[in-house]
Chain A
Amino acid sequence: AQSVTQLGSHVSVSEGALVLLRCNYSSSVPPYLFWYVQYPNQGLQLLLKYTSAATLVKGINGFEAEFKKSETSFHLTKPSAHMSDAAEYFCAVGYSSASKIIFGSGTRLSIRP
């Protein structure tokens, strides 16, 4: 069965600091992995996706994530946080291009001035 675990329900960083949001997955087949962002009172927007073409994936707004099979991880990073990055971030996994995706519990990112 596929599942995804996000470590840390709330992460707070200073503006300009490194952002690191952790995600570990469980999948019996090569996974499709995603990060979605949800701004307050809005829908889910795709930040980036891993589909086996490259292990380092670059997304929108300066975010990137690295797929590490040995660690079953897909952590999200951004070198320098901006106030506008404050949002809820969801890691998600799918097991085929046709399947549903399963979301992690989410990590709320706060940015301190």
Chain B
Amino acid sequence: EPEVTQTPSHQVTQMGQEVILRCVPISNHLYFYWYRQILGQKVEFLVSFYNNEISEKSEIFDDQFSVERPDGSNFTLKIRSTKLEDSAMYFCASKKMGVAANTGELFFGEGSRLTVL
């Protein structure tokens, strides 16, 4: 069964460093998302991406964050200068397109745990 894959599974970085989290969505999906989950808290929406541009973003997704689909398969989240409060689990998700096939569900990856020291 096709799945969303994320790398790395865990990254430790120093405050102020740049981090890139990578995702390979399911191949026939066209909507892509990043969510984050701070330890013990709810899953929060960061950004959605469609047709090579951001379709929606939350207040969390400030100028320190960016997303990119550099080729036909990868979808990346970059944090330019990490802060302690960026420590969280980051989930990538993707969604099908097409009325008949699209029931609105998101398919999630296993997550990338980011620890900022």
Contacts and interface: CB of A to CB of B under 8 A. Distances in A.
A42 B43 CA distance: 13
Contact of B108 (A44, A94, A99): A44
A101 to B, nearest CB: 6
Interface residues of B, number: 26
Nearest to B101: A97
Nearest to A93: B104
B48 interface: yes
A90 B33 contact: no
B63 interface: no
Interface residues of A, number: 23
Interface string A27-64: 00000101010000011111001010000000000000
Given A43-B108, A43-B111, A98 B102 contact: yes
A14 interface: no
Nearest to A105: B42
A92 B50 CA distance: 21
For B50, B97, B105, the residue with the greatest tally of chain A CB atoms inside 10 Å of its CB is B105
Summarize A's interface: helix, strand, loop or mixed.
loop
Contacts of A97: 99, 102-104
B45 A100 contact: yes
23 contacts: A43-B91, A43-B108, A43-B110, A44-B43, A44-B91, A46-B105, A49-B105, A51-B104, A94-B104, A97-B102, A97-B104, A98-B50, A98-B95, A98-B97, A99-B56, A99-B104, A101-B104, A101-B105, A101-B106, A103-B35, A103-B44, A105-B42, A106-B42
Interface of A: 32, 34, 36, 42-46, 49, 51, 90, 94, 96-106
